[in-house]
Amino acid sequence: MKTGTLILVRHGQSTYNARGIWAGFTDCGLTDRGRQEARQAARAVRDQKIDVVYVTDLKRSVQTWQEMAKVLKCSSLKPVVAPEFKERDYGKLAGHSKWKLFARHGLKMWLHWRRNWDYPVPGGETLKDVYHRAVPYFRRFVLPQLEDGKTVLISAHGNSLRALVKYLDRISDSDIAQLEIATGGIYLYTISSDGTILREQRRAATNNQS
């Protein structure tokens, strides 16, 4: 029976992460720390021979893969650009300090915006919306490659990866609020030819930088 390997990597620290600002679709790049986190992520999966790479159309995702590729010595591997895996659209919250919004609107509203499954964000997306664009794409394009025994790496974002992990680990709508994925954090899955998840391993700690 063939088994494929799925590697989910959250991008390294971005300039907006460093400043505590909600980025969403804003196309901010990595900090020096973010580049270092990407290289650390690569070292954590250097035992894997990667066949296919997916990035989003946001530079922090692309730059993360570029840093990883240097360490893995596979810079010639051209990534597939999948906007379906891009970060959640934070609408009118994008560009604002998370901590100033916390002070202005209170903990309950702040947590609803930040982690709730389907609580609306002004002019933006819910995590549920992200799920319904990321998961169908994953099932249509990525899963068949995993079932064919390939190793696939996805360099994406906090919320798009939370959506994928929710699907893969069958996390409930309420429990997904507890999931945090660090910048540079990794989830590694072994998947059988019939799509069954045989093993899941986290290779980096979680934190609150999303």
Catalytic residues: 11, 87
Asked if 14 and 29 count as a contact pair (C-beta separation under 8 A), the reply is: yes
> Could you tell me the two tokens for 197?
């998840």
d(CA 95, CA 166): 27
Instruction: Give whole-number Cα distances, 69 to 22, 51, 102, 177, in Å.
Output: 27, 12, 37, 32
d(CA 79, CA 154): 9
